[in-house]
Structure 1
Amino acid sequence: MRNPILLGLGLLVANAAHADLGAIPKESGWSGFLLGGVTASSHESNFYAGGDSKSRIDNLGSPESESELAPLINADIRYTFADTRTQVFLGNLIQDAVRFDFTQQFGIRQEMGDKGIVAGSLVFNVMPVELWSDPYATGVDRSSTDAKSKGVRFAWDKIWGSNFNGSITTREVELDEEHSGQQYDQRHGTSYAPVLNRNGKIHDMELSYQWHFGDGQVLEPAILYKQAKLDGSAESFKNTGLQLTYAKRGPQWSFVSNGYLGKRDYDEVNPLFGQRADANEMVLTGTFFWHSLLGIKDLTGVITASYNQADSDIDFYDTRTSALSTGLLYNF
Structure 2
Amino acid sequence: MTTTQRLTTLLACTFPLLASAPSVANGNFDPLQPGFSGAIAVNVGVAGGSSQFNTDDDNATTKDLNNNGDSYVSAAPMILGRLQYSFGDTAIFIGNSPDQIAEAQFQAELGVVHRLYADNTLTVALFGNVPSVDETWEDPYLTGVDRDTSEQTVMGGRVALDLNVPIPVSVSYAIADSEIDDDDIGNSLALSASERSLLKRDSVFQRATLDVSIPVFANLSLTPGVQYTVRDADGSAQSHRDKAVQLAISSSLRRHSFTATFRASQTEYDEANPVFDRKRDSDNVGIFAVYNHMGLFSWQNAMFNLMAGYSESDSDITFYDTETFFVATGVGFRF
Normalised to the residue count of structure 2, the TM-score between the two structures is 0.89
Given that 2:32 and 2:90 are in contact with CA atoms closer than 8 Å, whether structure 1 keeps it comes out as no
> What's the offset of the Cα at 1:28?
0.6
CA 24–167 in structure 1, closer or farther in 2 if over 3 Å, else same: farther
Matches within 5 A, 1:229-268: 229-268=232-271
Q: Are 1:103 and 2:107 counterparts?
A: yes
Q: Which runs of 5+ in 1 are unaligned?
A: none
Q: Hey, what does 2:141 align to over in structure 1? A: 136
Task: Give the secondary structure class of the aligned counterpart of 1:96.
Answer: helix
Within the candidate set 114, 118, 135, 1:114 is matched to 118
Q: Which moved more, 1:96-105 or 1:116-125?
A: 96-105
Q: Percent identity among equivalent residues?
A: 25
Q: Which moved more, 1:314-323 or 1:96-105?
A: 96-105
Within the candidate set 204, 207, 220, 2:207 is matched to 204
Deviations 1:67-94 (Å, cap 9, x if unpaired)? 2222223222221111xx1111111111
Q: Hey, what does 2:159 align to over in structure 1? A: 154
Task: Say what the alpha-carbon RMSD is for the aligned residues.
Answer: 2.2
CA 300–269 in structure 1, closer or farther in 2 if over 3 Å, else same: same
Q: Which moved more, 1:318-327 or 1:65-74?
A: 65-74
Matches within 5 A, 1:315-330: 315-330=318-333
Task: Give the secondary structure class of the aligned counterpart of 2:84.
Answer: strand
Task: Give the secondary structure class of the aligned counterpart of 2:12.
Answer: coil
Q: Are 1:58 and 2:58 counterparts?
A: no
Matches within 5 A, 1:38-49: 38-49=44-55
> What's the offset of the Cα at 1:25?
3.6
Q: Are 1:31 and 2:46 counterparts?
A: no
Task: Give the secondary structure class of the aligned counterpart of 1:95.
Answer: helix
Q: Which moved more, 1:262-271 or 1:248-257?
A: 248-257
Q: Which runs of 5+ in 2 are unaligned?
A: none
Matches within 5 A, 1:271-282: 271-282=274-285
Q: Hey, what does 2:334 align to over in structure 1? A: 331
Amino acid at match of 1:204: R
The number of residue pairs the alignment matches comes to 322
> What's the offset of the Cα at 1:293?
1.9
Amino acid at match of 1:177: D
Q: Which moved more, 1:111-120 or 1:39-48?
A: 111-120
Mapped partners of 1:150, 1:252: distance in 2: 37
Q: Which moved more, 1:230-239 or 1:63-72?
A: 63-72
Q: Hey, what does 2:180 align to over in structure 1? A: 175
Mapped partners of 1:24, 1:292: distance in 2: 18
CA 90–244 in structure 1, closer or farther in 2 if over 3 Å, else same: same
Deviations 1:3-30 (Å, cap 9, x if unpaired)? x966821332533433269x85463112
Given that 2:8 and 2:78 are in contact with CA atoms closer than 8 Å, whether structure 1 keeps it comes out as no
Within the candidate set 189, 192, 209, 1:190 is matched to 192
Deviations 1:36-59 (Å, cap 9, x if unpaired)? 11221112111121x454100110
Mapped partners of 1:144, 1:322: distance in 2: 23
Amino acid at match of 2:36: W
Deviations 1:117-153 (Å, cap 9, x if unpaired)? 1121112223632211111110110011222211121
Given that 1:290 and 1:301 are in contact with CA atoms closer than 8 Å, whether structure 2 keeps it comes out as yes
Stretches of 4+ aligned residues off by more than 6 angstroms? none
